[in-house]
Structure 1
Amino acid sequence: MNKPHLEATRKLIANKIKRAREEAGLSQRTLAETMFCDQSTISYIERGKVGVPLENLVEFSNALNKPIIYFLSDIV
């Protein structure tokens, strides 16, 4: 994949994570506590500044009660 495609993919996933968190009624801080990370990490992820490794995507899936395909559906 070329760099623009990777950035677009990262932003799609970031937006899905943010939407799922908001639908769940969770703050970034609460989600971060659930996932044992810093609130700033959630912020960076939701803004698409950093990518999400697959194992972390599984953790988001569990924490936000969404199937993993929810985060990947616009990509695959």
Structure 2
Amino acid sequence: MTGKLTRANWEDNQYHGYSGQPVKLQFKKAGTTTYTTVKTVYTDSYGNLKTTTTANYDGYWRFSFAGTSTTPAVSAPGDYVDVR
């Protein structure tokens, strides 16, 4: 899975990668309502996220950021994976 964590910079009115931040990779099994954290990964110096895992069940995968004192929490919408 890949992703990017960015935040607004009000000095130049653009979004920039948020480096060195812990982001949770979460899974929600099809037919359930709760996401479970599979692992925590850290953004690189550009805010990029990259990790691998094995999907054993149908369900939704997402990245979730808990936030900091200056940046609010955010979770990506889940991407559905159909295991065959």
Larger relative contact order (C-alpha < 8 A, sep ≥ 6)? 1
Q: Which structure's residues are more often strand, by fraction?
A: 2
Larger radius of gyration: 2
Q: Which structure's residues are more often helix, by fraction?
A: 1
- TM-score, structure 1 normalization: 0.27
